[in-house]
Amino acid sequence: MKLATWNVNSLTARWGRVESWLVEHAPDIVLIQETKQSDEKFPFAPLAALGYESAHYGQGQWNGVAILSRVGIEDVRRGFGDEDPEARLIGATCAGLRVYSCYVPNGRALDDPHYAYKLEWLAALARILAERDPTKSVVVGGDFNVAPTDLDCYDPSLFEGATHVSEPERAALRAIEATGLVDLTRQLNPGEPCFTWWDYRSGSFHRGWGLRIDLVYVDEVLLHKATASYVDREARKGEKPSDHAPVVAEFDL
DNA sequence: ATGTCACAGTCCCTGTGA
């Protein structure tokens, strides 16, 4: 079973690249972030032609998350509950696995109200994961907008006082891990940076100025069934790429 | 620390968000 997570930075702008990537890599389950589409614009039919059922939580101009599955999609949950101001979380059950696609708020700056919203959002995610059905394996993937450790940042000295690396954000990730989850890409690639995002500006990708902020959390059962987790840097190259590369996880179920 | 990209509306430029 092959699962991928990818912040596409507008599915409208990225459709051609996403379609060819799905054909080439043939993942079974795909977690998408930043579709930047309403549900009306989401390409349900073209995805169905590729063999994927889809669930989308769209907002329009900003945010928007989706799950694509070739192995069934049931019990879709959009957001945390009744007072979700932004479309950043969708969950579904695919082939018996509970999967979540997450687009964690950026935070903008440590003194910005959006940073407090980011921490509250991560705490809400930890709460629903703590309350999950413990008999069902879970995958929580997406753009977390947090580099879990300094290894996940190309130059920590440039990020002092910035978002994405602050201690409260990292503690919020540890609270998610404390519900029984493991950062799969890091677990399978100890010591390797495995960056997933590079700023469009300044030729960051070619200079290696990246962060690892797109993460795949799995429970212990799935950890032991995992055979690989890697970043497809090829998808960050060429014409009109997203600023994020897909992260892939493979399991022998 | 910025040599970019995508979006919508003010609509072929500008402000916002990343």
pLDDT in the model for residue A206: 96
Residue A129 has phi, psi (to 5 degrees) of: -75, -35
The structural domains of chain A, with segments of one domain joined by +, span 2-251
pLDDT in the model for residue A123: 97
pLDDT in the model for residue A84: 83
How far in angstroms lies nucleotide B13's C1' from the CA of residue A13? Answer: 21
How far in angstroms lies nucleotide B1's C1' from the CA of residue A44? Answer: 40
Q: What is the mean pLDDT of chain A?
A: 97
- Which bases of strand B have any atom within 7 Å of the beta carbon of a protein residue? 1-8, 17-18
Mean local confidence (pLDDT), A23-42:
98
Q: Which CATH entry fits the domain spanning A2-251: 3.40.50.880, 3.40.309.10, 3.60.10.10, 3.40.190.150?
A: 3.60.10.10
Report d(CA A224, CA A218) in Å as an integer.
10
- Judged by C1' against the alpha carbon of A107, the nearest nucleotide is B18
- Judged by C1' against the alpha carbon of A199, the nearest nucleotide is B4
Mean local confidence (pLDDT), A130-146:
96
Contact A245, A14 (CB under 8 A): no
- Judged by C1' against the alpha carbon of A9, the nearest nucleotide is B6
Active site residues of A: 103, 143
Q: Kindly report, residue by residue over A207-243, the tens digit of the pLDDT.
A: 999 999 999 999 999 999 999 999 999 999 999 999 9
pLDDT at A133 over 80: yes
| Cα A171–Cα A174–Cα A175 angle in degrees, nearest 5 | 90
pLDDT at A83 over 80: no
Contact A199, A164 (CB under 8 A): no
pLDDT in the model for residue A95: 96
Count of C-beta atoms within a 10 Å radius of residue A74: 12
Tell the burial category of A159 from Cβ atoms under 10 Å away from its Cβ (0-12, 13-18, 19+).
Answer: middle
How far in angstroms lies nucleotide B8's C1' from the CA of residue A61? Answer: 8
pLDDT at A92 over 90: yes
How far in angstroms lies nucleotide B6's C1' from the CA of residue A131? Answer: 37
Strand B contact set, beta carbon < 7 A: A 9-10, 12-14, 36, 60-62, 105-106, 108, 114, 155, 158, 199-204, 209, 240
- Judged by C1' against the alpha carbon of A154, the nearest nucleotide is B1
CA distances from A198 to A203, A211, A236, A242 (A): 9, 7, 9, 9
Q: For chain A, what percent of residues have pLDDT higher than 90? A: 98
How far in angstroms lies nucleotide B9's C1' from the CA of residue A60? Answer: 15
